[in-house]
Structure 1
Amino acid sequence: MKRRHYYQIISEYRRLRSLYGTDLRQICLQLIRQFGQLIASYNSSDRTAAATVADNDTDRSDDQHWIQCVIYSLAAYEFKCEIKPSAASVTAAIASYGVSNNNNIKSLMNIAQEVGISYTMAAQYVLQNRYNHDKSLTKTMSANTSHIADGRLAVDVMLCHLNDIVFGNHSNHMTNNSGLVFESEVSQLLHRNDISYVSERQLRIDDCFDVTPDFKLNVPLIVKTLGVANNTVAANHCTDGSDICLIKVNNYFAKNNTKFIVDNDSTANYTPINWIECKSMFASDLCHSKYYRNQYSNYVNRFGSGLVIYKYGYVRPVPVQYTLNIIITDRLPKIMHTF
């Protein structure tokens, strides 16, 4: 996504936040109505061919679902960065719950809206501070409200988690599942092409690494990127799906000096990668820079250069200081074989 388009969406998001408060569902619906066509343009039919995985078994024909995912991912990250409740707002939420106002007892959702915190946060603060439950018990009660003795509070906590599409239990499960599905897609792509790798779980358990990529390649792949002639890829290490493919060098140890570069494209650039990280999200500048400092730079120090895939896109161009030794794309690339 171009930077100016991203700023247009963020500007409208902030305006809607002032109108709808913490009701992110309504904010996302309004953003989809206003920017749906813009988001769809980044998923246009002329790029569908680049979205295929190996044998053309995946496409992005469901534009509406794609639009919803991009808008939600973008808005949810901004919302998470903004929602940092003050001590005053937490105290107000705890004190006002259960207090009758003209024979009308406010729900936790209404209180959260008034004091400007998320529904789930309001529920957690009431459980933990007003009823003196520790964090472990609060987590258990939030996951299973049948453990809450107060029936009205149990219903309020359940409604908070159902309607909180960022911090709620249900939204957390959906986000985690989305990430697992995307990792599975990448894993299937590697398996179909007989590419050997070590998973994140194996690296953590067997090799005791504390920070690990999703896939550590046992034999490096060659990333072919286009656009070097006009410096678009060379400067930013960022590609469209149609601008990138992975090359598996099958005769790496052959005695003859066979070239894996099978074309004469002067605009192509070839870079070896040792790991792949996949994120089922949209990445803003702030989001990517945090991941680069906390994760990607550590991967580079341990394993060398790598490939980062943001499933729902990212803001272009990425600042150069956050692209060192990594290549960024928003599509699952094809894999070519050389013999």
Structure 2
Amino acid sequence: MVSKMKLITYNEILDQIHTYEVREALPLIAKNFPSVSMKALGSIYSQEYQKKMRKTHHYHYCQDTMENYYKRFMNGIETGEKQILIRLSEEIELSPALLARIIMERHLAHTKYDGENPPKGVVTQLMKEPSLIEEPDIAVEIHLSILSDDHYGPLCDSIKHSFGHEYEFKLKRTLDKFGLSYIGEEQMRAKGYDKTPDIKLEVPIAVDGHVINWIESKASFGDEYSHKMYLKDQFWSYWNRFGPGMVIYWFGFIEELDVNRDKGIILHDDFPENIVRMNPSLR
């Protein structure tokens, strides 16, 4: 399966995602792009979904709109309806987890905070642990919304966290197989570093003719938006502290983004086999 792709292919995939706009269409899209892995397609879809939520966030968080959602929800609770939030989220094209958070905020404001917005930390805790919600019917609705949303909210965060650990473990296992000496993020933080890649090689290697001092593992697809943010918030900071390094986008990336090789940051979609050790005695 191809994971690196040309920008033109990426844009063709986006066109189809925007045409269908449901995750269930991914197998159909996959048939039109047989060389692209499902992990890449799933990651691209999730990224587009999250972009859409960010763009429309302001509309749904208007005070009158939130109150309308809450009123509709409570009417459903009173009449004994089921899966109210899931149906409403589909109707208004909003993430079920985001809608659940809006409802939780408004419910707390009406019942415990005299109409004022509740502390964000309180809402976040209830979203992570719906069993703490006092009203059983509301707790079930919030919980179902969270479980139905693998693109946003607590479930999405757990999936990302799990994938991140899985592929970081895969990277470390590969480094061990090659007999490469390294230190991890926790060890670097213990030494006082505030910006830390996943891996700092104790003895640099060369990949594609470029020296590699550090490796960052990303269990996602490298699109233009996320890669630009990572460069700004992470990768250039690593370069400043540790010199040139490598980013692995395990689910692939847009080939045209790999433009900083001569500046000290190269992209790969797997750990390369053709490494060159800086010290021949370590072979």
TM-score (normalised: structure 2): 0.83
CA-to-partner distance for each residue in 1:81-110, whole Å, 9 max, x for gaps? 220322334343233221259957571122
* CA deviation vs aligned residue, 1:289-320 (integer Å, no higher than 9, x gap): 11112111111111111011110101122263
How far apart are 1:284 and its partner, in Å? Answer: 1.0
CA distance in 1, matches of 2:228, 2:119: 34
- Per-residue deviation, 1:170: 2.9
What is the CA deviation profile of residues 106-143 of structure 1, one whole-angstrom value per residue up to 9, with x for unaligned ones? 71122222333211111112112322343333223222
Does residue 159 of the first structure (1) align with residue 159 of the second (2)?
Answer: no
Pairing of 1:180-329 with structure 2 (within 5 A): 180-204=165-189, 206-223=190-207, 225=208, 270-318=209-257, 320=259, 324-329=263-268
Return the offset for 1:169. 2.6
Looking at CA atoms only, which structure, 1 or 2, has the larger radius of gyration?
1
- Contact 1:214/1:277, CA 8 A, preserved across alignment: yes
- The residue identity in structure 2 corresponding to 1:74 is I
TM-score, normalisation: structure 1: 0.70
Name the count of aligned residue pairs. Answer: 259
Q: Name the counterpart of 1:75.
A: 45
1:21 counterpart residue number: none
**Contact 1:277–1:309 (8 Å) recurs in 2:** yes
Pick the aligned partner of 1:134 from 93, 116, 119: 119
Give the partner amino acid of 1:123: A
Aligned identity (percent) is: 25
Q: Tell me by how many angstroms 1:152 deviates.
A: 1.3
Q: Is the 8 A contact 1:179 1:279 kept in 2?
A: yes
- 2:114 corresponds in structure 1 to none
Is the 1:9–1:31 Cα contact (8 Å) retained in structure 2? no
Does the C-alpha gap of structure 1 residues 322 and 193 become closer, same or farther in structure 2, counting only changes over 3 Å?
closer
2: CA distance, partners of 1:134 / 1:322: 45
RMSD of aligned alpha carbons: 2.4
- Name the SS of the counterpart of 1:209 in structure 2: coil
- For the residues of structure 1 that align with 2:128 and 2:166, how far apart are their CA atoms? 23
| Counterpart in the other structure of 1:255 | none
Point out the more displaced range, 86-95 or 97-106: 97-106
Go from structure 1 to structure 2 and tell me whether the alpha carbon gap of 1:297 and 1:128 turns closer, same or farther (over 3 Å shift): same
- Verify: 1:143 aligned to 2:143, yes or no: no
| Mapping for residues 79-158 of structure 1, pairs under 5 Å | 79-84=49-54, 85-86=57-58, 87-88=61-62, 89-100=65-76, 105=81, 107-132=84-109, 133-158=118-143
Once the two structures are TM-superposed, the CA of residue 77 in structure 1 deviates from its matched residue by: 1.0
Structure 2 residue aligned with 1:175, among 134, 154, 160? 160
Counterpart amino acid of 2:11?
Y
Unaligned segments of structure 2, at least 5 residues: 110-117
Q: Does 1:29 align with 2:24?
A: yes
2:9 maps to 1:5: yes
Q: Any idea what SS the aligned residue of 2:74 has?
A: coil
- Distance (whole Å) between structure 2 residues aligned to residue 190 and residue 140 of structure 1: 38
Aligned-partner Cα distance in 2 for 1:102–1:145: 20
Which ranges of structure 1 fall in alignment gaps of 5 or more residues?
18-26, 43-65, 226-269
SS class of match (1:99):
helix
Check whether the contact 1:198–1:217 (CA below 8 A) recurs between aligned residues.
yes
SS of the counterpart of 1:81?
helix
Distance in 2, matches of 1:81 and 1:333, equals 31
Q: Secondary structure at the match of 2:17?
A: helix
One-letter identity of the residue aligned with 1:28: R
Higher helix share: 2
Q: Aligned AA for 2:99?
A: A
Runs of 4+ displaced beyond 4 Å: 100-106
Report the 3-state secondary structure (helix = DSSP H, G, I; strand = E; otherwise coil) of the residue aligned with 2:94. coil
